[in-house]
Amino acid sequence: MTMPKFSARLPDKTGGYKVLQIYQRGEPVFVTGNYDVYARDLLRKYYKEMGISHKETKSQSGPMMPDITDTEDQRVAGMGSVFVVPNLKRANFDGLSIDYDLWLDETHLKQSKGLYPGWTFMLRGKNGVYVPV
């Protein structure tokens, strides 16, 4: 099966977004959505567009959510949010998905940073302090 390839690009408009970190064929990919979208809905949309079948279970907050379904071609690495300021070449990554108990993945961010020459990537750690990636 040929998988469509999502762009690893972050949004080009200043603002806050939800972000999924995915490895697709070993390459780091960002899947972003509006900030008010739940990670479960963003993941469900990604799976649908990729043609990946998955099971659903009840989330901690109540609604059904897709189980994380890693395949030979793709793996979910992290979830959270990002505030992007393209004209300053800056992206501040923060958070986790409470439903999935999954934090943003620093290794994925380090690998993705190579796609953004001159950009500053900051990651907010579990201690609440932003550090450069």
Mean pLDDT along residues 112-130: 92
Single pTM value for the model? 0.90
User: Tokens 């989330």 appear where?
Assistant: 59
pLDDT score for 126: 81
Where does the pLDDT of residue 78 fall: very low under 50, low under 70, confident under 90, or very high at 90 and above?
very high
Q: What is the per-residue pLDDT across 44-67, written as a single tens digit (0 to 9) for each?
A: 999 998 889 999 999 888 899 999
- State whether CATH 3.30.390.50 applies to domain 15-127: no
What is the pLDDT at residue 86? 96
* Beta carbons within 8 Å of 104's beta carbon, 6+ residues apart: 19, 21, 78, 79, 80, 93, 94, 95, 96, 123
Domain ranges of the chain: 15-127
pLDDT tens digit sequence for 4-42:
445 557 999 999 999 999 999 999 999 999 999 999 999
Q: Tokens 């959510």 map to which residue?
A: 65
Kindly report the average pLDDT of the chain as a whole number. Answer: 90
Neighbours of 78 (CB within 10 A): 21
Q: What is the pLDDT of residue 32?
A: 93
**Strand bridging mode 64-66 / 56-58:** antiparallel
In contact, 40 and 30? CB cutoff 8 Å: no
Structure tokens at 120: 């500053």
Q: pLDDT exceeding 90 applies to what percent of the chain?
A: 77
